[in-house]
Amino acid sequence: MKIGLFDSGLGGLLITQAISARLPEHEYLYLGDTARVPYGNRSQATVLEFTTEAVTYLFGQGCDLIIIACNTASAEALRSLQQRWLPKHYPDRRILGVLVPAAEAAAAATKSKKVGVLATRGTVTSGTFDRELKVLDPAIEVVSSAAPLLVPLVEYDGLEWAEPILERYLAPLHDVDTLILGCTHYPYLKAVIRDMVGKDVEVISQDEVVPDKLADYISRHPELGGPSTQPAQRRYLVTDQTDDAVRIARELAGQPIALELVTL
């Protein structure tokens, strides 16, 4: 099976590494919209427009299944793509996001029924995590905190400033027992965040929950395709290539990777 992974930029490489390590038998095509990142502060209409272009491109490259690794795009575009766009254009293929697996893990973990969400402004404003958590368990109370400075902090070697900034963002979430890290870049900060919130708070990091949920989904949907017959390929496409992009990609992927420039 050829699996497409889409992110607004390069943060999605963290979860891509986790997914491809869990399911190495498939082919992966990553697309990062580096020319237009960040999505986190854009309007819903713009996020939907950009995400539609990205999935159109990835399906055009023969992907059987696309994972929208970007939380902002999952929050603001996924439902519309699944319900209106996909049945019209590619009824036999699938698009999945990363919010629902995280929400399911949080709903299963919380005992106090108070769940925190740390995410971009767009994801928080969309209210999508709140809605998904309430569908799973109407008794859950959701407290969200928008954290616009965390993405640049990860991308520009700012970990030494992470703690004071995180203190501000985590303050409204002080009485939750479960915390969802709802952005592509946050797995990079999970050790610091776990340290700061302490062991009484269950931190849900998508790189730890999405790969198993995806493996389960794929095993229940054999019609999407089996393992790749050729040696499983990985390719990484970007819409803008700069020295910064090459450096960030190397850091997030944990190894040098070749970026290919494409136009959507």
Residues recognised as catalytic? 70, 183
Site for ligand DGL contains 3 (CB under 6 A): no
Q: Provide the minimum distance between the beta carbon of 194 and ligand DGL in the complex, in angstroms, as a whole number.
A: 19
> Are 33 and 184 in contact, with CB atoms under 8 Å apart?
no
Contact mark string toward ligand DGL, 107..136, x via CB under 6 A:
-------------x--x-------------
Interface segment toward ligand DGL; rule CB under 6 A; list 35-43, 83-91, 102-110, 255-263? 35-43
Give the whole-angstrom CA distance, residue 232 versus residue 210.
20
Give the whole-angstrom CA distance, residue 261 versus residue 26.
22
Among 183, 237, 245, 252, binds ligand DGL (CB under 6 A): 183
Residue with smaller CB distance to ligand DGL, 20 or 34: 34
- The number of beta carbons lying within 10 Å of the beta carbon of residue 156 is 12
Q: Provide the minimum distance between the beta carbon of 222 and ligand DGL in the complex, in angstroms, as a whole number.
A: 30
- The number of beta carbons lying within 10 Å of the beta carbon of residue 128 is 25
Strand order in the sheet with 178-182: 141-146, 114-119, 178-182, 202-205
Count, residues near ligand DGL per rule CB under 6 A? 17
Residues β-bridged to residue 236: 30, 259
> Are 4 and 59 in contact, with CB atoms under 8 Å apart?
yes
Interface segment toward ligand DGL; rule CB under 6 A; list 7-15, 109-117, 216-224, 226-234? 7-15
60: CB partners within 8 A, 6+ apart: none
Residue with smaller CB distance to ligand DGL, 119 or 257: 119
Among 16, 34, 72, 178, binds ligand DGL (CB under 6 A): 72
Among 3, 6, 11, 201, binds ligand DGL (CB under 6 A): 11
Whole-angstrom Cα Rg for the chain = 17
Residue 12 DSSP label:
T
Among 4, 38, 101, 116, binds ligand DGL (CB under 6 A): 38
Q: Max alpha carbon distance in the chain (Å)?
A: 50
Site of interaction with ligand DGL (CB under 6 A): 7-9, 11, 37-40, 70-72, 120, 123, 151, 183-185
